Structure 1
Amino acid sequence: MHPTGEYANGADGSSAPPRGRKRRRKRLLVVLVVFTLLAGSGLLAGGYYFDSVPTPTDLKLPESTTVYYSDGRTQMAKLGAENRTIVPYEQMNDSAKQAIVAAEDRTFWTNKGVDFTGVLRAAWSNITGGQRQGASTITQQYARVAADLKGVTYSRKVREAVIAWKLDDKYSKEEILGFYLNTVPFGRGAYGIEAAAQTYFGKTVRRDAPASQQLTPAEAMVLCAMVKQPEADPNDPEGSPGYDPRRNAKARQNSIDRWNYIRDGMVKLGYLSAEEAANLAYPDGVKPIDPNAGQSGLDRPTGLVVKHVLSELRQTDAFKDKPADFIRNGGYKIVTSIDKRVQDAAEAAADIRRDTAPEAVRGQPKNWQAALVAVEPGTGRVLGYYGGNNGEGADYAGWYYDDNGEARGFGQHPPGSSFKVYDLAAAVRDKISVKQHFDSPETKEFPESGRTKDSPAGPIRNAEHAPCQPDCALWEATVASLNVTYFELTEKLGKAKVIDMATQAGVDSMWATVKGNPQPQRVELRGEPADEVARHFSTEVGIGQYGITVQDHANGMATFAAGGKRAEAHFVRSVTKGEDKVYQEQLTRTDLELDEEALNQLDWTLSRVKAAKLDNGWDSAGKTGTWQAGQSTTQNVHTWMVGYTGALAAAVWLGTTDGKPLKTKDGSYEVYGSSGPGPIWRQFMEQATAALKLDPDKYRFGTPEFPGDTPSPTAAPTTAAPSATVQPTPSEVRPSASTSARPTGGPKPSPTSSPSLTPLPSLSPSRTKAPR
C-alpha cells in the first residue's frame, strides 16, 4: 500500500491522487515544454494529435523465430519462447504492482507522466548529435515499448513525451500501470508479468489463485529487477549479462543488488515495513533457463535440420559470437534449403520403422538405423536430411555445433567401396581410361604399403568376384568392387590425389585412427596441402577404411552430378527480420577440372552398377559399399548406397546404433549395400524426382568416346557374396591440428587435436575390418 498520508485514496497500493485544478496547470506546463522541444527538434507539434496511443491488446509482439521449408511458407519449426498472457489490472495481486513502481518509477502515482528533465536532456542530445536517451517514467517506458512494438522508430524522446502526455491525459494511473505490466519484456521471451511469473517461478499474479500459487513480493522483486535489462548484451554477454540469476554468476549478483534496491524502495514507499524488509530473503526458486521452452517441431526428424541451421548461422558474420539463444529469441524468419517434397520422400524411405520404407529394411531389429542426405547439384542446397527419427536424439547423417560450441553427431561411418567413386574420378582426371586393364587376382601383395603375406594385416583380398578375373578393366573392377584393383589404383595415383579428389568433391572431414585413442578422430581435409593431409591416412583410404559423413558423401555425389562443379553444402537460404534481410545464401562453385570425356567415363561406369539403376526413365549412377566386422567375411557393420541423376544426388547409410553387425529379423547376416541401403536409395530417388516433376530428358548423361580403346563388353560382370577379409594396416596416424574455418555452408571445425565429436559406438579401430 502507499505510505500513510503521502497519497490520498491509496488504500490498496494502486490508487492515484484525485485530479482537479492541478491537471489543468500540469497540462499547460506540458504544452509549453513539449511545444518548445518539438519546435527546437524540428518535429511537428501536430504529432500530439496524430500519434496513436495503443493499448496492450493493440500491440503485436515480436514473433518467435520460425524455421520454414524452402518455399518460405510451410513451417518446419518454431524457436524461442515469446509469450504473453494478459491479466486485467484489478485481477493482479499487489506484489507486482508495488515492486515495479519501487523498481522503475517511485513517483509514478504523483508525477505527470513525463520526466521533463529527461526530455530536455534527450532533446539536447538529439540536437547536438549525442546518444539516444531512454525513457524514465513508467508512462514513458510504456509509450516507448508500445511504439517500438508497432514498428515505428521514435528516435527522439519528445515523441515519447507526447505519447506519455496523451496516455496520462486519457487513462488513469491504474490503467497505465496495467498496460505496462502486461507489455514490458522480462527476458526469456516473456512479455508481461503473468508470462514472467510462469516462466521464472511457475506461478501466477492472479489474486484469485490459491495463495501458494501466487507470486510473492520477494519473487516479484526478482522479476521487476530484470526489466532494467531483460536479456544479455549480444555484443558482450559475459560482461553485461543482465539480471537473470540463472544466466551466470555476474547476472545473479546484478539481480541481488537490484533486488536490494527495490526492497529499499518498497520500504520508502510504505509497501513494506522495515521489519518486514529485514525478514525478507532473496528467493532461490528461479527456474533454470530452458532453451527449448516454447519451441515446437524439434522432436521430429527435421529437428536435426534445425540444429544444422543454427550451427551454420553461428558461423556467419551476422550471428557469430552471439549468445546461444540470440537466434531463437530474435524474431527471425529462417528459410531453409529443405524441399518439403524431397524431405517427405527421404523420411518415407529412410525411416525404416515406417510402413512406407522398402520391404527389405522394414520391420528389422531395433538396432538397425538408416541415414539419408540429398543435395541439389550445382547449388549445394541440402534438399532432404534424415539423420534419425528424433530431432532431439542422435544424428547419424552428419555433425553440427550445439549451443555451447561442442561438436555433436554420430554421422561418420567407414564408407567401404562407396568411397571408390573418388578413386575413379581421380583416375579419369589423370587420363586413366576406365577400359585400362589391371591385374586383379583374388589376393595380391603390396609391399610398398605394407600389405604382404608376412605382415600383420596380410595381403589385399577381394571381397567380390568377377568373370573377368584375373585381368579386369577398371570399369569391370568398379562394378564388381574389386579391392585388389582399387588398392593398386590408389598406389598408382598416390593417396594424396585420392584424398584431394574427395576433398574437392565435397568430403570435408575424415576420421583417422590414432594410436592410444579408442575412438577415431576427426581430421579436417581442407586448409592444408593434400600431401600434408595424406600423412594421416594409409593406402587403405582408397578402399574406404576411414569414416566420412553421409552429408559429405552426398555433396560429393552432387559435385559429379553437376559436371564436376562443387558447391558448398548448406541448409540456409535466407534470414529476415520484418522487412530487413539479415542473411542471404552465397552460391559459389569450384571446378574439379574434370573434362567432358572424364565426366562421361565416370557417369558411364557408375551407371553400370546394378543397384544404381532406376525404373523411372532417369539416367542414374551410383556405387554400393560395406564395411565388415572384425575378421568376418559376411558380417557387415556399415552398408552404403550413394549416387546421382543430373538433378539430384543422395547418399544412404544403413548400420546399427550399437556398432554390432547388421543381422536380419530372420537371423541372417547377408546384408550388403545392394540389399540394404540400395532399396532405400532407389525408392527415395524415384519418389523425390517424381515429386519435383522434372523432365529426365533434360538431365541425360553424355557418351564417352574412349579414345584409343576398343569397344567394351556390354555384359556387366556378376557379383558374389564376399569371400575374403581385407585388414587395415596397423599404423600410427595423427589428427590434423588445423583450425582453419569451415565455409559458412557447414559448421566451423574445432581443433581436431582434442575433438568434441561424440562418435558412433563402434568396434575398436585395431580390430580387423574389410571393405566392400
Structure 2
Amino acid sequence: MGRADERRARQRGTRRAPKPRKSGIRRLFTWKKMLGTFFGLCLLAMGAFVVLYLTVSVPDANAQAQMQSNVYKYSDGTVLARTGEVNREIVGLEEIPQPVQRTFVAAENKSFYQDAGVDFRGTARGLINTLSGKGKQGGSTITQQYVKNYYLTQDQTVSRKLKELVISLKVDRKLSKNDILAGYINTSYYGRTAYGIQAAAQAYYGIDAAKLNVAQGAYLAALLQAPSQYDWAEATPLGKKLVTARWNYVLDNMVGQHWLDPSVRAGLKFPVPHEPKAAPGMEGQTGYLVQAANDELVRQGVDKERIDAGGWTITLNIDRKKQRELVKSVDEQLEAKIDRKKNKTDATVQAGATSVDPKTGKVLALYGGVGATEHWISNATRQDYQPASTFKPVVLASALENGAKTQDGKTIDTGTIYDGTSKRPVKGSDTPFAPENEDNHSYGPVDVQKAMSDSINSVFAQMVVDVGPAKVKQTALDLGMTDVANSFPERPAISLGTMDASTWDMAGVYATLDNHGRKVTPAILKSAEHKNNLVKLPDPIGKQVLSRQTADTVTHVLQGVVANGSGSAARTDAYQAAGKTGTSENNKSAWFVAYTPQLTTAVALFGESPKGGTQVTLTGTANSGRANGGGFPARIWADYTLAALNGGSDAAFDLDYKKPVREKPTPTPTPTLSTPTPTVTTPTPSHSTKPPEPPTQTPTTPPPPPTESPSETPTQSPPITTPITPPDESFDPFGPPDAPRG
C-alpha cells in the first residue's frame, strides 16, 4: 500500500458516522413549524377579529325594551298582581357627587380612565369560564359592563362576549369616559327592583342621588357585585360580612388612587340602608305573597335579576278563599281589639301566619303583616324570633324516635313520670340548667302528657338531656328547621325553643307530624313559566323522617293540649285538632301552631319596636297582662280554621300511636310540689261567654277519660264535644290568670 492509500485509509477511519434520519412525528413537529403554526393562528385570529370589528356595529339601546311584566296568579288562575315596570330615572353625571362617581370606578375598574374600554385578559378568562360551564366569572371593564347592560343581554354565551368586546372598543372611541360612566351608573341593577343610581338612592336611603355621601356611594357600588346577596335587609350573616368587606375594599381603593383622604376614610362608618318598601300595587298581603313566591323561585336556582327583568307567569298555591279568611280572622281577632295609634304596646304588635295542606305541602294562605307598604318584612317568613314552647313536641318526637331513656333507665313514652318542680337543675348534663316554670309553679310528679298540656319547662329541659341535645337538634333539622345564624346550640336550653324560626318553618314541622312523619316542605309555587320554559319544581312531600308511630304519638299528645291544656281556646266539636302554644322569654313572641287532619297552620305575634325594629315585650297588649300563645294566636287560629274548613269537618286523625306505660308517681316530701289527684274537671271553654276559670286538675291523657285499663285507650280520639261560641268583651285574650306559659 502506497502512502496515498494509507492517508486515505486514515481519513476514512476518522470520519463521523452519519446522523440517523428523523422519525415522521419529529419531522412534522419541529420548532420552526410549531412557531409558524402559532403565528399563522395569530394572524388568522387577527383577521377574524378585523372582520368581526368591521361587521359588528353598535346596536340600538335595548335596556328598557327588554323589560316586561311579571304576572302572578292565585291557584285558581285569577290574577293576583302584575309587576315589572322599570324603576329607573336617568340622572346626569353632573348631578352625582364626584366622590360617589369614583366609588364605582374604585369598585369595578381602577384603570377606567386610562384603558381602551376592554380587558383582554379578563375577557379571555370569561370566555374560558363560559366554555367550561362556570358561568358568570371573569373580569370586565366598566365600558364592557355598560355595553352588556345597555346594548346586549345578560346571556353567558361566547358570541355575546365577542360582540361585547368589539362594541366596547367602538363605544370607547365614540363616547367620552364621563358618558360611559354615566351610562353604567344609570343602567346597572342594584336590587330592590331599582335600575340606576337615582332609583337605588331612593330605594336604599330615601334620598336623591345628588345627596349621597361617599360612604353610601361605596355601599351602592359594592351592591353591583351581588345585589340580592348584599341587600342588608335580606342578607344572611355571611352576606353582611361579604358586603362589609366589599365596602371597605372600595374605600381603600379610593385612598390608593388618591381620591379619598386617609383621615376621612378612617372616620367613615358603614351606612346601614333603610328597610325596603313595597312598590306600588303591592299593598296589603299582595307584596308578601309576591315576595314569598320570588324567594322560592330563587331557592330553585333562578337569579333574582332574571325575575326582576320580567316576562314570567307565576302561579301560586294560595287559595283565594282561605287567604281572605286568614286576613279576616287576624282583623277580627286581633286588629279590632288593639289600638295601634294610642297604645304604645299595641303599636309594637306584629302578626304572622302560614297555612299548609299537610298532604300536598301547598301553602294555602299566608299573613305577612298589616300591609307590605307599611311593614315590608314578612312576619310569615321572618326567622328572627324564638318559637318557644312550640318546640317541645320536637323534643318528645326525638325521645320517642331514638328510644331514649330517663336518668334511671326507663324508656320514655307519654306515660313516663318526670319531676315538674320549677327551677329544678337538670341531671346528667355538663351544662347547668334549671329553668323556671310559668309563674314559678311547681307541679310535682307528672307524666309526659300533662307536661305537654301545661307546657312544663322543667320536664322538657330534663328530657332534652335524656335524649341528648345533638339528637334533638338532628330531629329538628330532619323535620325542616334550620340553624338560622347559628342560633341552635346543642344545649339543654333548646327545650324552650331558644333558636330562631318562622311561622313558615314551624308550619312545615307540624305538617310533617300531621302527615304521619313524612317530610313536608311548604311550597308556595304551583308553576313558574318564562317564555314557554317551565321551571322544574321539587315535590313538597319528601321521605319518611319520623316513624309513623312516633309522629302519631306526638299528635295524640297534642290533642290533649287543645282538649284540656294551654291550647283550649281552639277546642270545638267542629273538628279534631292537635297543637301547641309557645311564649318566648320576656313575652317577645307568642305562638300557636296546630293542625287538623286537613290543615296545618302556624300563627305568631311578635313584639317589634316601630323605631329600629328591635324586639320588645308583648306584655300589656290590648291593656291585658302577659302574652300567651293560648290567647290571640289560638283565637286567630280557631277562627281561621273554622272558616277554612267551611264551618267544620268530620275528618278524624288516623293514628297509630304508642300507648303509654303507666307509672305510679313517687310521693315527694318537698312542700312546694303538688301531687296529681284523680279529680278531673273540664275547664270552661275559652270561647264561652264567661271568663274561663282555671281548672282544678287536667287529665293526664287526651279525652275521653281513661278507663281503668290503659290498654283500652282508643287509637283515635273522637271529636271534643264542647261547642265553640263567640266570646264577649270580658274574655281575657291571654287566657286565665294562672294559665301556664307556653
Q: State how far apart, in whole Å, the 2-side matches of 1:542 and 1:228 are.
A: 52
Q: Which residue of 2 aligns with 1:384?
A: 365
1:539 aligns with 2:477: no
Between the aligned partners of 1:664 and 1:652, the Cα distance in structure 2 is 19
Report the equivalent of 1:461. Answer: 436
Structure 2 distance, partners of 1:227, 1:235, is: 11
Deviation at 1:614, TM superposition (A): 4.0
Tell whether 2:521 aligns with 1:568. yes
Give runs of aligned pairs for residues 225-374 of structure 1, distance below 5 A: 230-235=151-156, 256-257=171-172, 260=175, 284=182, 291=193, 297-317=281-301, 319=302, 322=303, 324-350=304-330, 354-355=331-332, 357=334, 365-374=346-355
Alignment of 1:114-125 (within 5 A): none
Go from structure 1 to structure 2 and tell me whether the alpha carbon gap of 1:508 and 1:281 turns closer, same or farther (over 3 Å shift): closer
Shift, 1:233, TM fit: 1.9
For 1:216-250, what per-residue CA distance to the aligned partner results, in whole angstroms no more than 9, with x for missing partners? Answer: xxxxxx9xx9899645323279x95999xxxxxx9
Query: What's the CA shift for 1:287?
Result: 5.2
Match of 1:418 in 2: 390
| Counterpart contact for 1:369–1:655, Cα < 8 Å | yes
SS of equivalent residue, structure 1 residue 413: coil
**2:436 corresponds to 1:445:** no
1:281-680 alignment, distance < 5 Å:
284=182, 291=193, 297-317=281-301, 319=302, 322=303, 324-350=304-330, 354-355=331-332, 357=334, 365-391=346-372, 393-397=375-379, 410-430=382-402, 432-446=412-426, 448-449=428-429, 459-463=434-438, 469-510=443-484, 521-522=485-486, 536-577=489-530, 579-596=532-549, 598-610=550-562, 611=567, 613-615=570-572, 617-629=574-586, 636-658=587-609, 659-664=615-620, 667-680=623-636
Of 684, 704, 707, the residue aligned with 2:640 is 684
5 Å matches for 1:110-149?
Answer: none
CA deviation after TM superposition for structure 1 residue 576, in Å: 2.0
- Tell whether the 8 Å contact from 1:606 to 1:622 is kept in structure 2 after alignment: yes
Tell me: CA distance 1:470–1:287, structure 2 relative to 1, closer, same or farther (3 Å). Answer: same
Find the residue that maps to 2:400 and give its secondary structure: helix
Query: Structure 1: any 5+ residue segments left out of the alignment?
Result: 1-59, 84-221, 244-249, 262-279, 400-409, 453-457, 511-520, 524-533, 630-635, 722-769
1:376–1:677 CA distance, 2 compared to 1 (3 A): same
| Alpha carbons 1:604, 1:704 under 8 Å: kept | yes
2-structure distance, mates of 1:651, 1:251: 56
1:302–1:391 CA contact under 8 A, matched in 2: yes
The aligned amino acid for 2:479 is A
Report the CA distance between 1:491 and its aligned residue: 0.8
Distance 1:552 1:420 in 2: 15
Distance 1:705 1:295, change over 3 A: closer
User: What does the per-residue CA deviation read over 1:193-224, in whole Å, with 9 as the maximum and x for residues that have no partner?
Assistant: xxxxxxxxxxxxxxxxxxxxxxxxxxxxx9xx
Structure 2 CA distance for partners of 1:655 and 1:75, relative to 1, 3 Å: same
Confirm or deny: 8 A CA contact 2:421 2:441 kept in the other structure. no
Other structure's SS at 1:325 match: helix
TM-score (ref. length: structure 2): 0.53
Q: Deviations over 1:89-148 (max 9, x none)?
A: xxxxxxxxxxxxxxxxxxxxxxxxxxxxxxxxxxxxxxxxxxxxxxxxxxxxxxxxxxxx
Give distance in 2, aligned partners of 1:653 and 1:334: 28
Flag the 1:564–1:358 CA change in 2: closer, same or farther, 3 A.
farther
Q: Is the Cα–Cα contact under 8 Å of residues 77 and 296 in structure 1 kept in the other structure?
A: no
Alpha-carbon distance between aligned partners in 2 of 1:714 and 1:301, rounded to the nearest angstrom: 48
Larger fraction in helix = 2
For 2:606, the aligned partner's letter is G
Q: Aligned to 1:427, what secondary structure does the other structure show?
A: helix
The 1:477/1:580 distance shift into structure 2, 3 A limit, reads: same
Q: 1:426 to 1:331 in 2, by over 3 A?
A: same
Residue 608 of structure 1 and its aligned partner are, at CA, apart by 1.7
1:391 deviates by 2.8
State the distance in 1 between where 2:355 and 2:180 align: 54
Alpha-carbon distance in 2 for matches of 1:337, 1:655: 26
Q: State the shift of 1:66 in Å.
A: 0.9
For the residue of structure 2 that corresponds to 1:609, the secondary structure is helix
Q: Which amino acid aligns with 1:389?
A: V
8 Å CA contact retained: 2:74, 2:318: yes
Amino acid at match of 1:683: D
Q: Secondary structure at the match of 2:308?
A: coil
Deviation of residue 672 (structure 1)?
1.1
Equivalent position amino acid for 2:318 in 1? I
1:217 matched to which residue of 2?
none
For structure 2, list consecutive stretches of 5 or more residues without a partner in the other structure: 1-64, 88-142, 196-277, 404-411, 610-614, 665-675, 684-691, 695-739
Q: Which amino acid aligns with 1:485?
A: V
1:608–1:716: 8 Å Cα contact kept in structure 2? Answer: no
Counterpart residue identity of residue 325, structure 2 = A
Is contact 1:358-1:680 (8 Å) kept? Answer: no
**1:590 partner SS:** strand
- Offset at 1:492? 0.8
- Judged with a 3 Å threshold, the aligned counterparts in structure 2 of structure 1 residues 648 and 488 are, in CA distance, closer, same or farther, namely same
Tell me the residue number matched to 1:762.
none
Decide whether the 8 Å contact of 1:302 with 1:386 is kept in 2. Answer: no
> What one-letter code is carried by the residue in structure 2 that aligns with 1:333?
T
- Aligned partners of 2:659 and 2:427: how far apart in 1? 32
Identity %: 20
| Contact in 2 for aligned 1:226/1:242 (Cα 8 Å) | no
Task: Supply the AA of the counterpart residue of 1:473.
Answer: D
Deviation per CA, 1:406-449, whole angstroms, max 9, x where unpaired?
xxxx4321122111010122233345321121122233122543
Distance 1:441 1:710, change over 3 A: closer
Q: Deviations over 1:133-165 (max 9, x none)?
A: xxxxxxxxxxxxxxxxxxxxxxxxxxxxxxxxx
- How do 1:76-155 and structure 2 match up within 5 A? 76-81=80-85
> Which residue of structure 1 lines up, in the alignment, with residue 71 of structure 2?
66
Secondary structure of 1:395's aligned partner? coil
- The whole-number CA distance in structure 1 between the counterparts of 2:181 and 2:606 is 50
Amino acid at match of 2:367: Y
State the secondary structure of the residue aligned to 2:372: coil
Structure 1 residues 599 and 281, CA gap change in structure 2 (3 angstroms): closer
Determine the C-alpha separation between the residues in 2 that align with 1:462 and 1:252. Answer: 71
Report how many aligned residue pairs link the two structures. Answer: 447
Decide whether the 8 Å contact of 1:479 with 1:717 is kept in 2: no
C-alpha contact (below 8 Å) 2:367/2:380 kept by paired residues: no
| Aligned equivalents of 1:316, 1:543: Cα separation in 2 | 33
Measure, in 1, the Cα distance between the counterparts of 2:296 and 2:658.
42
- Equivalent residues of 2:288, 2:378 under 8 A apart: no
Give the aligned CA root-mean-square deviation in angstroms. 4.3
Q: Give the number of the structure with larger relative contact order, counting CA–CA contacts within 8 Å between residues 6 or more apart.
A: 1
Distance, in Å, in 2 between the alignment partners of 1:541 and 1:251 is 60
Q: Deviations over 1:151-186 (max 9, x none)?
A: xxxxxxxxxxxxxxxxxxxxxxxxxxxxxxxxxxxx
Deviation (angstroms), 1:465: 7.5
